[in-house]
Structure 1
Amino acid sequence: MATPMSAGSLLAGLRAEGLTVVEVGNWSHHNRNHKGPWGPVHGVMIHHTATSGGPRSVELCRDGRTGLPGPLCHGVITKDGRVHLVGYGRANHAGLGDDDVLRAVIAEQALPPANEANTDGNRYFYGFECENLGNGKDPWPEAQLAAVERTAAAVCRHHGWTERSVIGHREWQPGKVDPRGFTMAWLRGRVGERLRQPVCGGAGAGATMLP
């Protein structure tokens, strides 16, 4: 069981992993907390946006769409490797998923197949959307993949989690396919390698403010 890190701790952790962070508007107070609790948190969930274009993807994830209000995640990782923070707190990203998967994440064990949708994932997971069409053909630039790795590692490092606490949306909710274009086992391997390295102390990191 883990209390969600503060918005300031997330920002500092991402910078410490060497990431360029873009703070979008009032991200640290933009959430869906009025719909239910956020926490305890147990893991990091990775998605693809099914959109193209960084600005469009960020705007969608911040504002949401008809029938699904934003924020749709905590951060959007664009193809250039920047992390755009769009929300902090409860976010509409995970939806209902499998309680057996949640128990495996908490225990940091191999995940069972997701075959139920009976548990509120928005309460328990950090969520990061990655700019990609999700058609299996849209490329994943190395800068973006490195940012996904570093982002997941930043959250895991803060909580003392291993790479087993990083899952894909498709591993949580039956019928989902995201993220498509790489395997989660491969990503967890990269996160595990990074967690065995010391943080870079913010070298090469930066921050930008957007309205």
Structure 2
Amino acid sequence: MGWLTKDQAVAEARRLKKHLERHGVKVSIELQRGAGDSGYWGHDWHRAEMSHHVVSRRSQGTTPLLFLVKKGRPDVPGPLCNGYMGFDGVYRIITMGLANHPGPGGPITVDGITIPRDDGRYYTWGTEFEGGLDDADWPPGFRAKMGAANAGIIDWLSERHGGRVTDDAHMEHSTWARPKGRKSDRRGYSRADGIAEIKAARRGTTPTVQEDDVTTKAQMDEINRWIENIHADIKETLPGLVADAVANYTTKSEKFSLFSLARFGYHAAAATNAALPGIAARVGAPVNTDTLAAALAEELAEKLEGSISSEVVKDAVRSVFADAANPQEA
């Protein structure tokens, strides 16, 4: 089959979703195009799966670096993985196509298949798991969910390839990465640990995993820089979204002159900018969109000098944040 159209990618994502759900994993399909110049929605060359951790803490929220793995970094465009699991235990299917997750590595033979040098994106399904800084962030229940997710992925791969994929198709990042030592495995995991966890998921048990601190200060500094870039991007794009929402809502509900609509948009953007420090501080944490919308609506209504009710503004603002917080299945 080769490259997949959007419809084919959605159908394949739904098949993967069923396999994950058979192992008790909650799933959200949030598809985007694959990385690279091709921009295809998917392909059918995945033959193994690889686990990563994003180097985060549970105290940062349930999905602190979801935005990062979707959008990418300044030096590496997203998506940075095919699938992602947050501290909420939900597995998000992000792309069925190329993901910039493995980096240089190989060649390597796993499960009877040789993956060519530096071609990991084509042959490995990459999952980013939140965590990796604190042992307490991965209690036995979360470790079991990681194993269940990988078991579901391998079942899906096996179905795609005529039953020829086994649990030996699992890799940790250092299994692939070259030169050796360029990348670490998930905190406390080796490839053997990952495979044992998959087999335990099939038995309904939780394996014991050796603990080992693999995070460096350089990695944390890099993560912090990424987060700063994410916040900068939010500050640049969010005011425009709110302004558009206010303008679109008012044009549907009442008649206003173009001058008035332009004024609404300007003041909406200005008010949102004023509120952004509080918004940015909550990136990655659960957001109470009603509270956030009400706070913005009060300021917007005041700046709009009574020409539009706070309830209308609140509905418009709420719609923006609700869409951002609750992505729809493709």
Band the TM-score falls in, shorter-chain normalisation: 0.7 to 0.9
3-state SS of paired residue (1:68): coil
Partner residue, 2:315: none
Q: Larger C-alpha radius of gyration, 1 or 2? A: 2
Work out the CA distance in 2 between the residues paired with 1:86 and 1:177: 23
The reply on whether 1:10 has 2:10 as its aligned counterpart is: no
Matched-pair contact (CA < 8 Å) for 1:81–1:145: no
Partner Cα separation in structure 1 for residue 3 and residue 37 of structure 2: 18
Question: 2:151, 2:201 within 8 Å by CA — same for their partners in 1?
Answer: yes
Q: 2:139 aligns with which of 101, 126, 141?
A: 141
What residue number does 1:20 align with? Answer: 26
Matched to 1:14, the amino acid is: L
Q: Which residue number in structure 1 is paired with residue 187 of structure 2?
A: 180
Which of 46, 52, 56 is residue 51 of structure 1 equivalent to? 56
Query: Which residue number corresponds to residue 151 of structure 2?
Result: 153
> Which letter maps to 1:167?
M
SS in 1 for 2:64: helix
Report the alpha carbon displacement of residue 55 of structure 1 after superposing the two structures with TM. Answer: 2.7
1:1-211 paired onto structure 2 within 5 Å = 6-24=12-30, 27=31, 29-32=32-35, 34-35=37-38, 38-52=43-57, 53=60, 54-99=62-107, 101=108, 103=109, 105-107=110-112, 118-132=117-131, 134-135=132-133, 137=135, 139-158=137-156, 159=158, 160=163, 161-173=165-177, 174=180, 175-195=182-202, 210=327
TM-score by length of structure 1 reads: 0.75
C-alpha separation in 2, matches of 1:152 and 1:122: 17
In the TM superposition, residue 165 of structure 1 has moved relative to its aligned partner by 0.4
Q: CA deviation at 1:84?
A: 2.1
Structure 1 unaligned segments of length 5 or more: list them.
110-116, 198-207
Matched AA of 1:139: D
Cα deviation for residue 122 of structure 1 reads: 0.7
* Matched residue type, 2:327: L
- Higher helix fraction (1 or 2): 2
Distance 1:136 1:171 in 2: 22
2:111 and 2:166 in contact (8 A); partners too: no
Check 1:48–1:180 CA distance in 2 against 1; reply closer, same or farther (3 A cut): same
Q: Per-residue displacement from partner, 1:87-116 (whole Å, max 9, x unpaired)?
A: 2211111122111x2x2x14179xxxxxxx
8 Å contact 1:61–1:86 — kept in the other structure? no
For 1:108 and 1:90, locate their aligned partners in 2 and report how far apart those are by CA, in whole Å.
19
RMSD: 3.0
1:126: Cα distance to partner? 0.4
Structure with the larger RCO, 1 or 2 (CA within 8 Å, 6+ apart): 1
Distance 1:96 1:178 in 2: 15
CA distance in 2, matches of 1:151, 1:91: 18
1:56 match: secondary structure: coil
Q: Is the 8 A contact 1:92 1:122 kept in 2?
A: yes
Taking the aligned partners of 1:69 and 1:165, their CA distance within structure 2 comes to 26
Q: Is the 8 A contact 1:80 1:144 kept in 2?
A: no
CA distance in 2, matches of 1:74, 1:39: 13
Report sequence identity in percent.
26
Give the whole-Å Cα distance in 2 for the aligned partners of 1:131 and 1:183: 17
Bigger CA drift: 141-150 or 163-172? 141-150
